[in-house]
Structure 1
Amino acid sequence: MFISGFYGKLPYTVLARIFGGYTMSAVARFDLTMDVEEKDIVSRAAALTGTTMAAFVRTAAKEKARELLDRESRITMTTQDFQAFTTALNEAFVPNAALQKALDLAHEVRRV
């Protein structure tokens, strides 16, 4: 077969372009051990939603993970902290003495 001559030589994305959009999706496995009570609870909940146990667990885990990642990517400030933060952003920047010295030296350096 013609494709076999390319095996291991071209990335799949190139083959996809050559052979009309054939795409492959990556699948990762995750094994989970549950006790009987946990499995029964998940099984009953999956049945109530009309889905498989695997789909139910995958959906629940993804929702929880997104919720956690969303919460951890936010910064919570008190009103006083927020006021100080916005004031600092809105005021003109004034470098301290050490930074000003470094800036002055950088302007003196001739760049190649």
Structure 2
Amino acid sequence: MHYLEVSLELPKDFDSPITATTLKTQLISAVKQLLGTKGAAYKVDILKFNSIEQSFILRCTSKHYVRLRAALTVAHSFEGVPCIYHIIRASPNLLSFTANSRTYTH
């Protein structure tokens, strides 16, 4: 399995509430847009979702990790509104998300 910590950047005037269900639908749509219906069948789970910060942690199989990451990189809309998916961290180990080496102080 692979895990990705992702944040979603939307225009400031976007006021529709984002739920985990809407997010999953849009993720599947992004994968389908790049990889077709076969890609839409890939198993992607949202493990954690923060609607205020618009960030989430995804889980996918290691086999489909590169394809999912590519789909998020080229995705350009969320419910018809321009968006950017920022991949903050990616790891085959979920435990590595508990600490951030960039902000760790000794």
TM superposition score normalised by structure 1 = 0.21
Higher helix share: 1
Higher strand share: 2
TM superposition score normalised by structure 2 = 0.22
Specify which structure has the bigger relative contact order, considering alpha-carbon pairs within 8 angstroms and separated by 6 or more residues: 2
